[in-house]
Amino acid sequence: MSGAPPDGASPGTPEEAAAAAAEEVVRGTGGTHHTGVLSGIGRRIGRRLLSSLPAILGVVVLTFLLMRVLPGDPAVFFASGPSAGQEEIEALRRDLGLDKPIPVQLLRYLGDVATGNLGRSLTTGQPVVTDLRQRLPASLELTLCALLIALSLAVPLGILAALRPGSPVDHAVRFVCTLGVCVPTFVSGLLLIYVFYYLLGWAPDPTGRIDIFAATPPDITGFLLVDFAITGNWEGWWSAAMQLLLPACTMALFVLAPLARMTRASMLAVLGSDFVRTARSVGLPRWRVVVVYALRNALLPVLTIAGIVFSTMLGANVLVEKVFSWPGVASYALDALLSSDYAPVQGFVLLMASIFVLVNLLVDILYGIADPRVSME
């Protein structure tokens, strides 16, 4: 008398198979998934780039108008000296095209932008494109390193906190995150300089990207770490890395909170989900449940946040750049703004808007690869 099922459960295999076939609702043929991903991504990239054009145009126009509204006259500012006569100022103004009505100026500017000419900086005397091209790698290198440091700290901290919610670990993580958000970067930056440069003497002078006496590598990518690595100059690489470490940590500390909190919240949600319970019910080892089943799912929202954090950091790290005399784009834009230098500010805003679009696009593509449900659309 074994547990033979009562009536209705006879092993009618052919019938069952037929019923199974009838029951099957095919929503997408499994085998074609991977080929579909690539063409799907291509289409999505095109669509996203097109749909972001109006936003970028709006940003450009708005910045242009804003600069004209702000007080300050570049012609006065850049006239030869306080003794410059009215005539000289008028001549400069004509030179800069500032005597034309604003709509005409705007049209000319848009025409220039379309041909890749962002104007000339009056402060440096160079084309804005050249300035930005020189300074952007510095900002990108700093921001990327800071983001990597922040992620490599925030994700483990968030996981630890989520595995034991309410425990001392959780509270400690929360404390660190709160501290990172509360302390302004110029305070934490100065504090780090005080401790690691002044007291301990571990860090090099906080003056720019590279020691003033060291030889700069050939300008290949503009990223010092990459250029040093390409030329095989490991001594220079080390010095550049040291130079980078303090400002990167300062920025990382600031963005630790959103990343760690997001990881924690998303891990908590996933750990409580049905499929994690399934993974436990078949006896998977704990690390495998946490890493393969929980973490991979939990990282999806973290990816989105990381994209936003990166874009924000790139433009908002002006304080860090100032404290560490970092020759980045944000401090460049600030200097230009203070001296009513229109072109660099407008160029900077356009650059930031484009980077924002690109980063979001990248996040979208990564998301599509990581989550098969997204690429189905």
Partner 1 sequence: MTGMPPRAGSAPPLLRIEDLRVAFSTRNGVVEALHGVSLDLAAGRTLGLVGESGSGKSVTAYAVTRLLDRAGRVTGGRVLWQGRDITRAGEGELRALRGAAMSMIFQNPRAALNPIRSVGAQIADAIRAHRDMPMREARVRALDLLRAVLIRDPEHRLESYPHELSGGMCQRVMIAMAIACEPELLIADEPTTGLDVTTQKTVMDLLARITAERGMAMILITHDLGLAAQYCGDIAVMEKGLLVEQGPSATLFRAPHHPYTRRLIAASPTPRSTIADLARAAGEPPPPAVAAPRPPLPAGTPPLLELQHVVKDFGGPARAVDDVSFRIAPGGSLGLVGESGSGKSTLSRIICRLLDRTSGEVLFDGENIGGIPARDFHRSPFRREIQIVFQDPNDSLNPRFSAFDSIAHPLRRLEGLRDGAALRERVVAAAARCGLSADLLGRFPHQLSGGQKARVGIARAIAVRPRLLVLDEPTAALDVSVQATVLYLLDRLRREDGMAFLFVSHDLNVVRLMCEQTVVLRAGRVVEAGPSEALFESPRDPYTRALLAAIPHFDPAPELQAAG
Judge whether 248 and 213 are in contact, CB under 8 Å: no
| Shortest distance, position 337 Cβ to partner 1, whole Å | 45
Nearer to partner 1 among residue 241 and residue 284 (C-beta): 284
216 near partner 1, rule: CB under 8 A: no
| Shortest distance, position 37 Cβ to partner 1, whole Å | 12
Nearer to partner 1 among residue 35 and residue 86 (C-beta): 35
In angstroms, rounded to a whole number, what is the distance separating the alpha carbons of residues 347 and 328?
14
Binding residue for partner 1 (CB under 8 A) from 35, 86, 115, 281? 281
Contact region for partner 1 (CB under 8 A) — 27-35, 113-121, 122-130, 341-349? Answer: 27-35
Query: Could you identify the residue written with the tokens 């670990």?
Result: 169
Judge whether 262 and 302 are in contact, CB under 8 Å: yes
Q: With the CA atoms of 331, 244, 353 and 94 taken in that order, what torsion angle do they form, in degrees rounded to the nearest 10? A: 30
| Shortest distance, position 268 Cβ to partner 1, whole Å | 10
Kindly state the tokens that stand for 264.
């924690």
For residue 313, give the nearest of 344, 359, 345 by alpha carbon.
359
3 near partner 1, rule: CB under 8 A: yes
111 near partner 1, rule: CB under 8 A: no
Binding residue for partner 1 (CB under 8 A) from 172, 235, 286, 354? 286
Kindly state the tokens that stand for 272.
């409580």
Phi, psi (degrees; rounded to nearest 5) at 72: 115, 140
Binding residue for partner 1 (CB under 8 A) from 27, 69, 83, 212? 27
| Shortest distance, position 295 Cβ to partner 1, whole Å | 11
Binding residue for partner 1 (CB under 8 A) from 109, 237, 293, 324? 293
| Shortest distance, position 230 Cβ to partner 1, whole Å | 36
Burial pattern 186-195, b for ≥16 Cβ within 10 A else e, equals eebbbebbee
Binding residue for partner 1 (CB under 8 A) from 168, 212, 373, 377? 373
Binding residue for partner 1 (CB under 8 A) from 130, 178, 278, 354? 278
For residue 366, give the nearest of 305, 282, 280 by alpha carbon.
305
Give the three-class secondary structure for 153: helix
For residue 176, give the nearest of 294, 319, 168 by alpha carbon.
168
| Shortest distance, position 317 Cβ to partner 1, whole Å | 33
- Contact residues: partner 1, CB under 8 A: 2-9, 11-13, 16-17, 19-31, 33, 272-275, 277-286, 288, 292-293, 296-297, 300, 370-373, 376
